[in-house]
């Protein structure tokens, strides 16, 4: 799962270098969601949809992973 996240980041970087901004944003978003999903799975949580992953990540990891903004705001 984390390999997929790394791959998406590489795609985001390549897209950015080619001035394909929408693709770059999309790949970065997918990388974040995949990473959140991997963390949730490692905590034995069920994941189904992107929105479910984002909501559940906030509930489970908000106290452990410090962001300057809520995860929902960060990703969107």
pLDDT tens digits, 45-71: 988 899 999 999 999 998 888 888 989
Q: Token pair for residue 3?
A: 């390999």
pLDDT of residue 25: 96
Tokens of 74: 């960060």
What is the mean pLDDT of the segment spanning 38-51? 91
Cβ atoms of residues 31 and 8 within 8 Å: yes
Joined tokens for residue 33: 């969601």
């Amino acid at each position: 799962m984390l390999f997929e996240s790394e791959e998406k980041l590489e795609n985001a970087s390549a897209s950015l270098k080619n001035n394909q901004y929408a693709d770059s944003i999309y790949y970065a978003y997918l990388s974040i969601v995949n990473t959140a999903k991997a963390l949730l799975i490692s905590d034995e949580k069920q994941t189904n949809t992107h929105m479910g992953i984002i909501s559940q990540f906030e509930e489970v990891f908000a106290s452990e992973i410090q962001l300057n903004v809520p995860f929902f705001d960060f990703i969107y």
